[in-house]
Structure 1
Amino acid sequence: MGSENDDGAAPGGAPTAPAEQRSATTLRVNAEHHTLDLDHRRVLLDVLREDLDLTGAKKGCDHGQCGACTVLVDGRRVNSCLQLAVALDGCEVTTVEGLLGEGEALHPLQRAFLDRDAFQCGYCTPGQICSAVGVIAEAAAGHPSHVTAPGAPSGRPVPLDRDEIRERLSGNLCRCGAYPRIVDAVEDVEGAAT
């Protein structure tokens, strides 16, 4: 339990925060409960990577601008580099590692990314996949985007055409430029679900 090393330092060698700057925080990560004693300043990304050894979410920009750290919190996509971990006490967190199905079967989006060769270096891929899971859920729940037709009925599922997918994934950057194949992969999964 906790995030201290044996020498009393937090991960990365930083000094441990005094007790009044720490809180017991319970997170359900990929269907497993974790109770951690956390410094109030630590972000979810660092807790996932350093304390729970879940390295799928990547530290790209560390400013919420690239999307490489995207995970799902209570089913909604978030940049984990911006989320204070203690503020998520009691929340359900799903990382790319938690998307695996029964018997470690790939999630349909993971399979589609492989089938469509929708990555090059792969650094952004876990964030792209988690974001795409969120995009599909948001559209199914009827949440409009900037490119959704103004006359679209409120609260009804939004069809995910290529423009919708591109707009909704615009917060996830791919420095290799695999965008067309990423859109293809999301279209494949969305098309199979409808």
Structure 2
Amino acid sequence: MRMTKQLHLRNGQSGFTLIELMISMVVLLIGLGGLLVLLITSLYTNKTAATDTSSTMIAEHILEQISAQGLQATTPLQITDCTYPTPQTINFATNPATLGSGNSGANGGNGATLTAGGIINWTQAFSAVPTDPVSGYPYAIRYTDCGANGKQKVYDVRWNVIKMSANDRLIVIGARPSNVSTNGGLRFVVPANLRTVD
């Protein structure tokens, strides 16, 4: 009896092996995990741009009221917000002081403390912002913006008024959502900081 030897030629395209399939599944899982993190982050920070725009608008609104008051006027101003269901009228101070001689330290006049860079110091607690020594009204307010169906957001607005000379003053104002308690983080909105000389 004769034995014949059969030669089997191996075909190089026989399909996926189980190990190749498992490796491709792991790669796909890592990619989808990365996309999931991006999706959750985008959903979580969806309203950040709108909040940032509203902060700037509120700061500019109060800044324009102070500027329109006139340089020599020191009487407090009023603003009405959109507190639901009854809007709130808030009196606020605009009395200036020369640099370093007011109630806000060496970097400012009267109002919220300023950093060495000349912007509002957000590490100062809202309750620690000084009031006007003459009228007793604040240099910081909590402003409620208008929203549909009672969905409003409250903003922390602070300012400092520095008398530069007999003919001009510097107003530095900042605003941010009042529920922000830290600097940084996923939902952190950079506070709007505006200034003008009038």
Q: TM-score, normalised by structure 1?
A: 0.19
* Greater Rg by CA: 2
Higher strand proportion, which one? 2
Higher helix proportion, which one? 1
Q: TM-score, normalised by structure 2?
A: 0.19
